[in-house]
Structure 1
Amino acid sequence: MDLCNFLLYAISSYVFIHVLVVFALKSSSSKTNLPPGPKGLPLVGNLLMLGNRPHESLANLSKTHGPLMTLHLGCLTTVVVSSAEMTREVLQKNDHTFSGRIVIDAATTLSHPEGSMVFAQLGPHWRTLRRICNTQMFNPAKLDALQGLRRRQIKQMIEHLHESYAAARAIDVGRCAFTTVLNLIWNMMFSVDLVDHKLGLAQELKDLVWELMKIGGTPNLADYFPVLKPIDPQGLRRRTFKCFTKLHAIFDDKINQRLQSRSSPSQFPRTNDLLDVLLDYCEDNGSDFRHEHIKPLFLDIFTAGTETSSTTIEWTMAELLRNRHVLAKAQSEINEIIGREQAVDESDIARLPYLQAVVKETLRLHPPVPFLIPHRADATVELAGFTVPKHSQVLINTWAIGRDGHVWEDPLSFSPERFLESRVDFRGHDFQFIPFGAGRRICPGMPLADRVVHLILASFLQSFDWKLPEGVTPECLDMQEKLGITLNKVTPLLAIPCKFGSTT
């Protein structure tokens, strides 16, 4: 037996024995009254049932096993929630118990994963991170103060679209939205633009962010069999490290420049952007926030803020181009309320109820994070007569809940009208519709995403009519999904900005 085969044999034997011990310990517990679920295979449990589209696979399994379902993913007990009623039990009645996080192995390549608001456990440091976001980035006063910045970015976006219009050239809708959102967020953090619509850096960064989302959403054997963590069998931790290294280099450059400028305040006045605020926290002796926490927090804001908003805009435009009567109705509303000469302002959005309904309907059918960020049970808890053990992973299948025929009439149709006479909203109180989550772990960036998505879409629809490239019909437009942490289109949406009336 050569060395490679011997090592493979030794590792396989070790894993086999480890898993047997874990399952023996689990099965020996007489107090286990887990929610029902499908039978799994020895050792791997239900892992092979996830498939390439786990949001769909688990939605289908829940039809057989119920809205509270147990899966055994290797050594990790996972409870899947697939109804609004069960989601309320988890995220409202037992919110504190289910507010923990499982730190996935790929994220441990961060030097300080606890500095990430996504993975930080409830406690003083998490509350500090949350307070920073709520008071320094996403509160109404801060967002109002940055309206001029968003107007400038929208103007640059429209100028780019006019160039494509003049050349009758299709644009990549997702990339255009990503570039705009990226510059908005970058300005909030560093007071400068990062990319230009005409340059390739935006696509490089979009691909980089998607790589991180893809890695984060890939079932990782190291998470399901902890004994495998040292060898990183799928290379996900190594791939994550490469992505983090590239992004950290960009952050380091900006942070070092700012530290130098702060040492000469007479020459470089404060910008009062997020970086200045975070550096102030670092210098406050009463704060537990340190320099090493800056980059993980920036990484959260950068990746989550750009990806979710641009993805929602792309899905919305795709649905509008497939349903031209909805597109015409949204454009008509904008024309009647605002006109085509005056640029859309954020204050106008409240007067565009149909556009708001269009966005809600998109979020219902295409939630940007179909499982939210997985929760963890921090204590054993009784739920609907079943026992959810401590340290179980809890997945909220918002994709399935948004398509639940018991809640939504004709759930697979794109019909914004369903929201016009409804008070259902996405702010975490209506558990049949929680694309941003609910409870303590609700997405802190929701207020910014709400403004940015509506503003970009309204500007798209006010400035141009839109058509698909030659040879692509609404009926054959590819609407296939690919899932990382976020839900993207498999095929990027290409659309041509054109003169009103030219598409009929």
Structure 2
Amino acid sequence: MFLSFCLLLFPLIPVILVLYLFTPFARFSSASKTHKNQPPSPRKLPIIGNLHKIGLNPHRSLLALTQKHGPLVLIQLGRVPVLVASSAEAAHEILKTHDVIFASRPKLSIPNALTYGSKDIAFSPYGEYWRQVRSIAVLGLLSSRRVQSFQRVREEETCLMIDKIGESCGSIVDLGELLTIFTNNVVCRVAFGRKFHGVKFNDLLKRFTYLLGAFSVGNYIPWLSWVDRFNGLEARTKNIAVEFDEVLESVLEEHISKKRAVEGDVSGENEEGQDLVNILIDAQREHTTTSFTLDKDVIKAAIMDIFAAGTDTTSTAIEWAISELIRHPRVMKRLQKEVTEIAQGKSMISEEDLEKMHYLHAVIKETLRLHTPLPLLISRQSTEYVKLMGYDIPAGTQVIINAWAIGRDPSLWEEAEKFWPERFLKSSIDYKGMHFEFLPFGAGRRGCPGIQFAIVINELALANLVYKYDFAVPDDMRGDELDMSEITGLTLHRKSALLVVATSCF
């Protein structure tokens, strides 16, 4: 998406150069800012600012900038000032010390269009509305009791995935595709009470999650908004919003009709039988006040968050874990030894077994450290002026926290680029937002509320995959030759499909 923007901008380069050479004000306008003590900034061009420095993998491009200028860097994307933080100290200041000031979100056109005007949890601005929606989600959807109530769904879908791999009979399997189907099925059953079979729905989810991370020129250079129309981004966003709305509308109507049919007879309902749509419909009756109404769009936006956070990031995390295990046979053998000993010959590993699997926990933590699912988390925005690590940060500054870079910081991690799960075995460092050197789910009040939901899926799937199968790359290629190249949207994906040959461990 950024590459297409550069190509469209190419005819403007002569104009930009003229402005750069003959308009000192454009080059040094930062000197006229009210707050003089700003963080270090790379030199910028008129109109586009530092957009030309953001490559196809922004987490790597931004790391290069902070390595040159320091852990806090102020860049200019079009007309928008953006603060980039790439150290644990900076993350601590933003996510804890000044959490309230940095708790809001910038209004971005694509998420806004896909989430009914940012009525969801992830992208809504900080305030009373966000607090109400998040409270309903945490208490009604993501509490320990509610997550536990979906155990049967997770275990059934894990079993189906394991059986599907077994049907390959040693032939090549696209494990990434199977993991996507697995997580989609879990989330569909949890959210809707049933699966949506077929390529069409899976394709819709892929396009939806891809667009959430797409670069919109108009957000940063409003007078170039025509680029988003010219390259089809605006139309694709509208089309996917309509398609997804049709699915959600039909599901809502189906659930409402069923509830009406059994109105007054709730004797058969229990925690296990309630899907998320039913839970939200029930909450709708209880949360209608003068200040907040849980209307249809709010319900739809909340369900969209579950899909955005619960499918793409979860399946890719498991895919990266298997990739690293293939490249590191020693780690694979040790993990298989642990799960085999704890399983004690059972046909499948259950969720009750997971608590004892300390090396499994370490493998997942190490995977999340090296392959942070959302490498730049979700952008924040300051709501008032603040002094941050000695620098003046004006209100309205966008903030990017490079969690991927922090997870690979050699000053924080011994042999930071090495996949070495043992580093977590005797460490108290966790992913729940209390340790700012490790932020796969963010931290503070805007940290991911679905950590428990995601982690239990990761643990259950990975434990059963390595318990049942040995994985190897095809064509006699060595595991350490596996391509680990990345491609980035909002989520960090493998660039190439994870094609494996699975052989039974029994």
- The answer to whether structure 1 residue 259 and structure 2 residue 264 are counterparts is no
What per-residue deviation string (whole Å, max 9, x for no partner) do you get for residues 234-269 of structure 1? 432221222222222221221111122222116997
251-260 vs 50-59, which deviates more?
Answer: 251-260
Give the deviation of 1:380 after TM superposition: 1.2
CA contact 2:112–2:118 (8 Å) conserved in 1: no
Q: How many residues align?
A: 480
Give the deviation of 1:470 after TM superposition: 2.0
**Residue aligning to 2:179:** 177
**Residue aligning to 2:429:** 424
1:192 alignment partner, one of 191, 194, 214: 194
Partners of 2:80 and 2:140 lie apart in 1 by 37
Partners of 2:300 and 2:24 lie apart in 1 by 40
- Secondary structure of the residue aligned to 1:114 is coil
- Secondary structure of the residue aligned to 1:214 is helix
**Residue aligning to 1:493:** 498
For residues 199-238 of structure 1, the aligned pairs below 5 Å read 200-201=198-199, 204-229=200-225, 232-233=228-229, 234-238=231-235
Partners of 1:337 and 1:278 lie apart in 2 by 38
Amino acid at match of 1:227: W
Change (3 A) 1:231 1:323: closer
**Residue aligning to 2:279:** 277
Change (3 A) 1:315 1:55: same
Partners of 1:328 and 1:436 lie apart in 2 by 28
Partners of 1:155 and 1:262 lie apart in 2 by 31
CA contact 2:105–2:381 (8 Å) conserved in 1: yes
Amino acid at match of 1:256: E
- Secondary structure of the residue aligned to 1:263 is helix
Give the deviation of 1:496 after TM superposition: 1.8
- Secondary structure of the residue aligned to 2:448 is coil
- The answer to whether structure 1 residue 155 and structure 2 residue 182 are counterparts is no
- Secondary structure of the residue aligned to 1:422 is coil
CA contact 1:175–1:206 (8 Å) conserved in 2: no
Give the deviation of 1:109 after TM superposition: 2.4
**Residue aligning to 1:55:** 59
Change (3 A) 1:466 1:307: same
For residues 25-36 of structure 1, the aligned pairs below 5 Å read 27-36=31-40
- Secondary structure of the residue aligned to 1:387 is strand
CA contact 2:27–2:45 (8 Å) conserved in 1: no
**Residue aligning to 2:331:** 326
Partners of 2:427 and 2:281 lie apart in 1 by 44
CA contact 1:137–1:143 (8 Å) conserved in 2: yes
Partners of 2:225 and 2:445 lie apart in 1 by 30
Amino acid at match of 1:245: V
- CA RMSD, aligned part only? 2.5
Change (3 A) 1:451 1:20: farther
Q: Identity over the aligned pairs, expressed in percent?
A: 32
Partners of 2:177 and 2:158 lie apart in 1 by 14
Give the deviation of 1:48 after TM superposition: 0.5
Give the deviation of 1:32 after TM superposition: 3.3
- Secondary structure of the residue aligned to 1:70 is strand
- Give structure 2 stretches of 5+ with no counterpart: 1-10
- Give structure 1 stretches of 5+ with no counterpart: 1-7
Partners of 1:213 and 1:22 lie apart in 2 by 37
**Residue aligning to 2:489:** 484
The TM-score with structure 1 as length reference comes to 0.90
Partners of 1:307 and 1:333 lie apart in 2 by 28
What per-residue deviation string (whole Å, max 9, x for no partner) do you get for residues 446-481 of structure 1? 110110000000010111122221243213211100
Partners of 1:276 and 1:255 lie apart in 2 by 9
The runs of at least 4 aligned residues of structure 1 exceeding 4 Å deviation read 19-27, 204-207, 266-271
- The answer to whether structure 1 residue 145 and structure 2 residue 141 are counterparts is no
Give the deviation of 1:276 after TM superposition: 1.6
Give the deviation of 1:226 after TM superposition: 2.3
**Residue aligning to 2:8:** none
147-156 vs 435-444, which deviates more?
Answer: 147-156
Partners of 2:417 and 2:349 lie apart in 1 by 31
Give the deviation of 1:281 after TM superposition: 2.9
Change (3 A) 1:30 1:136: closer
Change (3 A) 1:371 1:280: same
- The answer to whether structure 1 residue 360 and structure 2 residue 356 are counterparts is no
212-221 vs 51-60, which deviates more?
Answer: 212-221
